[in-house]
Amino acid sequence: MISKQFQVTGYSEGYYKVGEFTPPRWVDDGLAKPITGATPRYGDGRVVAVPEGIVEQLRGIGDAVYTGTDETAERTRDWWPGTMLAHTDGDPATPDAVIVEASGVKQVQAVLRLAAANGIPVTVAAGRSNVTGSTLPLEGGIVLDIHTMNSILGFNPTDLTAECEPGVFGDVLEERLQTAWGVTTGHWPQSLGLSTVGGWVACRGAGQLSTRYGKVEDMVTELDVVLPSGELVTLGGRQRAAVGPDLKQLFIGSEGMLGVITRVVLRTHALPDYARYAAYEYDTFEAGLDACRRIMQRGVTPAALRLWDNMEGDYYFGNGGNTLLLILDEGDPRLVDVTVDIASDEAATTGTAVDAEPIFQKWLATRFEVPAQNAFEDDGAWMADTLEMTAGWSQLPRIYQRVQSEVGALEGTFVVSAHQSHAYTDAACVYFTIQGTLPIKDRAAWYRAVWDVADKVIIEEHGQLSHHHGVGVVRTPYVAESLGGGMEVLRAVKQALDPGRMLNPGKYGL
């Protein structure tokens, strides 16, 4: 029923472009300035220009090729607030690049072979819904735009698997699956209509119902990947095999730095007709987190345990400032009823039951709304960002308290709120929203300070920097410390697959 609701209401009240890049709201509001600055806002100064002779060869390979500062800005612009900061100041976010659109595997292979032979970096992009700067070409070179690799290739009704290309947008895929085959991926990110399947895989994404259906790494059964050499490999396809490591997982979450994903096979599920929900209030966010922990450790997996802290509970639902928990599930009625009954029993031991109907309906109606990131008024500015992370249940209360306190103490910060969006038996994802009001000239410094302070807390308290948005530009400064000895393993994998450091250079410190 929850997944079916998409057929009725669609995505984001129609505020998006179907099957193509949707600009963030600040662009439609006319806040993007002409690019007049000379120095890129991001990167370490290493820039690789593409010679005109190579550009001409690319024109013979790709479906379309674009060059120049304005084209680079328009065709690499994403949903990261860092890009917004640059473009609303009239600065380039990155060096100029050559944007090559490709709609077929052979084109992808040809571009990578040409780039490898000439030492030119390649950054892959499609939906550009990322909020971390993961598809920005920090060293110029080539941007390989694969959003037109957007075919749904087939469906296996016995295995319940769907096969598609990486440029398929989430809403297009889900509509086809539901109407043609009566199934759903169960993958419902807030960015559904802005994001592509390839982006989900590359950033190890998660949807709103992940407690029932899993994250994207749980859904992918097979991948085709073009390596930096131009070689095409197929990984996976042998479910639960014990023939060495699961190599497809190397590329799930690799953010385009190890290879280019060109085909994905996903598990699907029969489209449910039945849903049930319940709601409870708690005095504190910490008490709500503990209730969610106990529910998960009872062994039930409702589609979602959505916990809003006191500030968000009041802001979104007008509940008077209490922490609010929404339990919801969909599927076979017998399984759903048992799941919600057990979850409710546990929730009620420390919480107070409230009328779930208006809460569920409000969440259902607004779950795909993508908020604004920036606004100007006179000489001041308001801006916002979200920061999601994951940690064990024992660590989350202190991380929540410290991020609220320490980010809240930064001059200009006026809101630090949070909700828990994804839960497991041992851990959960907490999703912070941070807002500031400050002079326009101070925006970039405040923004960097927010991330510095928050990620320092997360590392010190033994959390993980990201649950589903990935690293990109914004988290790169903290990756080595976060991974510890694992960073050398990652460097070795990168060196083995991409010795020329060609794919998405500058991210992860690689």
Per-residue pLDDT at 25: 85
Give the sign of the dihedral formed by CA 178, CA 181, CA 187, CA 191.
Answer: negative
1 annotated binding-site participant? no
What's the average model confidence in pLDDT over 363-373? 83
452-465, pLDDT tens digit by residue? 999 999 999 999 99
Instruction: Give the number of other CB atoms < 10 A from CB of residue 8.
Output: 7
Per-residue pLDDT at 75: 96
Encode 289-320: b = buried (16+ Cβ within 10 Å), e = exposed: bbbbbbbbeeebbbbbbbbbbbbbbbebbebe
| CATH number of 275-365, picked from 1.10.10.10, 3.30.70.3450, 3.40.190.10, 3.30.450.70 | 3.30.70.3450
| Closest C-alpha to 508, from 472, 483, 482, 481 | 472
> Which pair of tokens denotes residue 44?
């370490």
Is domain 25-147 in CATH 3.50.30.30, yes or no? no
The answer to whether the CB of 353 falls within 8 A of the CB of 280 is: yes
Identify the helix (H) or strand (E) that includes residue 162.
strand 161-164
The answer to whether the CB of 2 falls within 8 A of the CB of 328 is: yes
Identify the helix (H) or strand (E) that includes residue 112.
helix 105-118
| Closest C-alpha to 364, from 320, 323, 303 | 303
Fold of domain 374-469: GMP Synthetase; Chain A, domain 3 (3.30.300)
**Catalytic residue at 11?**
no
319-354, pLDDT tens digit by residue? 999 999 999 999 999 999 999 999 999 999 999 999
Q: If you ran DSSP here, which 8-state letter would residue 410 be given?
A: S
Per-residue pLDDT at 26: 87
How far from each other are the two terminal CA atoms of the chain, in whole angstroms? Answer: 44
CB-based contacts of 451, cutoff 8 Å, min separation 6: 387, 474, 475
pLDDT at residue 12 is higher than 90: no
- Report d(CA 179, CA 310) in Å as an integer: 39
Cα dist from 44 to 84, 358, 483, whole Å:
19, 50, 22
Q: What are residue 376's DSSP bridge partners?
A: 381
Per-residue pLDDT at 14: 72
- Report d(CA 389, CA 474) in Å as an integer: 13
Confidence of residue 473 (pLDDT cuts 50, 70, 90): very high
pLDDT at residue 45 is higher than 80: yes
98-108, pLDDT tens digit by residue? 999 999 999 99
Fold of domain 150-270: 3.30.465
The overall average pLDDT reported for the chain is 95
188-218, pLDDT tens digit by residue? 999 999 999 999 999 999 999 999 999 999 9
Cα dist from 435 to 122, 284, 402, 470, whole Å:
34, 21, 16, 21
Task: Give the helix ranges, DSSP H, for 236-355.
Answer: 248-251, 285-297, 310-317, 333-348
Per-residue pLDDT at 489: 97
- Report d(CA 493, CA 330) in Å as an integer: 40
70-95, pLDDT tens digit by residue? 999 999 999 999 999 999 999 999 99
Per-residue pLDDT at 73: 96
321 annotated binding-site participant? no
Task: Give the helix ranges, DSSP H, for 166-232.
Answer: 170-176, 197-203, 210-213, 216-219
218-250, pLDDT tens digit by residue? 999 999 999 999 999 999 987 788 999 999 999
Confidence of residue 377 (pLDDT cuts 50, 70, 90): low
258-312, pLDDT tens digit by residue? 999 999 999 999 999 999 999 999 999 999 999 999 999 999 999 999 999 999 9
Tell me the pTM.
0.96
255 annotated binding-site participant? yes
258 annotated binding-site participant? yes
Per-residue pLDDT at 374: 72
Look at 312 and 8; give whichever has higher pLDDT.
312
Look at 365 and 468; give whichever has higher pLDDT.
468
Per-residue pLDDT at 15: 74
pLDDT at residue 378 is higher than 70: no
User: Which listed residue (431, 447, 478, 508) is catalytic?
Assistant: 431
Return the residue matching tokens 């300035």.
Answer: 33
- Report d(CA 319, CA 296) in Å as an integer: 25
Per-residue pLDDT at 8: 67
257 annotated binding-site participant? yes
| Closest C-alpha to 463, from 368, 392, 376 | 392
260 annotated binding-site participant? yes
Per-residue pLDDT at 235: 97
Main-chain dihedrals φ then ψ at residue 385, nearest 5 degrees: -150, 165
High-pLDDT (> 90) share of the chain, %: 89
Domain ranges of the chain: 25-147, 150-270, 275-365, 374-469
- Report d(CA 114, CA 110) in Å as an integer: 6
Identify the helix (H) or strand (E) that includes residue 183.
strand 183-184
pLDDT at residue 372 is higher than 80: no
406-451, pLDDT tens digit by residue? 999 999 999 999 999 999 999 999 999 999 999 999 999 999 999 9
CB-based contacts of 333, cutoff 8 Å, min separation 6: 274
Identify the helix (H) or strand (E) that includes residue 116.
helix 105-118
261 annotated binding-site participant? yes
What's the average model confidence in pLDDT over 23-37? 90
